[in-house]
Structure 1
Amino acid sequence: MSNDTGQADAPSSPGVSYVMPVLNDVRHVRAAVDSLLAQDYTGDVEITIAVGPSIDGTTELVRELQAADPRIHVLENRVGSTPAGLNLAIAASTHPIVIRVDAHSELPDDYARLAVETMLRTGAQNVGGIMDAQGRTSFETAVARAYGSRVGLGGTPHHVGGREGPADTVYLGVFDREMLMRVGMFDERIKRGQDWELNRRIKQAGGLVWFTPALRVVYRPRASMRALARQFFSTGLWRGELSRSFPTRGTLRYFAPPVLVLGIVLGTLLGLGGLVQLGAGATPWLLLGFTAPIAYAAIVLLASIVVTGRDGVRTSLWMLAVLPCIHFCWGTGFVLGYGSLAKGISALRNPPKAV
């Protein structure tokens, strides 16, 4: 495929390569692979799984899946990171369309067909849609509601939907292989947010990144508070690094969580100072600092009721912990990342060499 006038002569169902990095995902990977095998796409298909050094039985499971279907190929991802696994899988696959799949995702059966139709119609080099987070437990449901809420992750189109059209980035991605090779695939130095950075290079190379709400991917959230905290701290850390290295007009919105965190911490410290003033017999004007954490607590309480009201009391109670976990872990990570603590290498501005 290409973005020129010759594209009209491209086959209506070009071959598709699904690429999936996995690491300790035994709970989700079978459902993800099953969703690929159930696609209604009529073109040639291959599935390449790059499995990292897992300790929960993931490696054994994907080997079983490989033995059961000749379209499934399994590679060893010794590095273990997501971008390294993606690059291994892309390099080992062959078809002109590359569909990124997450082990926590489940594609609807028309996903590949609609994505390829959209690519052929728009001439885009990357197409993506909505991450439709869905939980199975009360905790996971609370996380899913936070994902799809403006008070949770800010209401970006690939979380809450929006109009079809050009975008800065999209969830997962259905790529033109030719463009992937031209820009050098994923930057393996970037452990989180590598999709945003890749899409930046695609657009710099004259490509088109296209969002369409017609594509919805079921996403299974993390199953524990500890896993959620680690996920969002790491995500915030790398988003801070990327915002520092590649400032754009849209960077400002990423500062909302860290400003929130700093405001609450500062307000709490000032309020504690007010208690000291009160004990010393002075005018406790610093008690006004408590306004920030109290206002935040009220917002979280209201959001928990409104966003999860139909999901039951347990989910609403979990939301009281989930929202602060997301905000504080992401915000703290962002501050550290923006201070260039995300990684021990320099020259992130230098893109990877094209393959």
Structure 2
Amino acid sequence: MLGATGSIGTSTLDVIARHPERYRVHALTAHRSREALLRQCRVHHPRIAVLERAEDADWLAEQLRSAGLDTEVHHGEAALSEVAGAAEVDVVMAAIVGAAGLLPTLAAVRAGKRVLLANKEALVMSGALFMGAVAESGAALLPIDSEHNAIFQCLPAEHRGGLARQGVTQLLLTASGGPFRGHDHQQLAAVTPEQACAHPNWSMGRKISVDSATLMNKGLELIEACWLFDARPEQIQVVVHPQSVIHSMAAYSDGSVLAQMGNPDMRTPIAYGLAWPERIDAGVEPLDLFAVARLDFEPADEQAFPCLRLAREAMQAGGTAPAILNAANEIAVAAFLERRLGFNDIARLVEEVREQLVVTPADDLALVLEADQRSRQEALAWLERQR
């Protein structure tokens, strides 16, 4: 489990705990949340635990020894890739947030694992390389984001070779609209990090909550959907659906529209990915349509929320443009959470960084990582100039 202590990681462990006869945890990894990882190790007894820093790994190892547990503790980026490709591992949950998840997720793909992809940035940054590695290794790639998981369920069992061959005319990517649905640009200027992190329907980490509030998360999901389902940006429509009951849809040439519905609980797509093609109990309450009562839909407001437009344009530009977009956004969101940047300035920073940097082909991982670093440096310089 790459990213065990985040919201996806804890939800995954909840599903696994319901099926001890089917699953055993081999490795749990975390960034710096050593106390949370210690609690998880005490419950799930992994063979290996991984943290970023050596001092945190030393602390965790001592705590585990004191508890009488024999979990091995490692640290650093190389250790993440090593556990992701370990021979003992059948399934890898890729739930590290941001660009940091790219290399270990790629390691899991290249090792031919079943990869449950909750890290959208891996595809955003290096879509062609990533999908090429999937095809070459024979890895099973199952999307865990609720929207992509829904589309996966609504498409034919064999959907490679383009949507048209399967009679699919459009993918409808639903969005809750976030906490500021209906707000205009002026109203958004005074938004605080606390308000942006208070999502009306989903329980998520702070970074992805801000991305949801700016609609950048939906833009990144649009890019991810293009790679996952061999679609063009113009084949994907974002539909604001505030109830978050329909998780996404696929429209067919005969007029049919297939939708996947359920309560907004990430344990549903996690359980689907773990057991596919079977279905197992996820601990999620059945959907009560009478309690929902109504389903509303509206177009996304790209004037108030320009990040969605910026993501679509990056996908259309191709090459390293999505990696540049993603890196600049990560810097901008971090600055917003630290109260060094206004909410509306997130999109402004991303757009100005994108305009400053030259887009190059993304046919080599080194070029992708170089574009990522160039974008971060330019974003930090932009922040310094504004200060």
Q: TM-score normalized by structure 2? A: 0.35
- Structure having greater relative contact order (Cα 8 Å, sep ≥ 6): 1
| Greater Rg by CA | 1
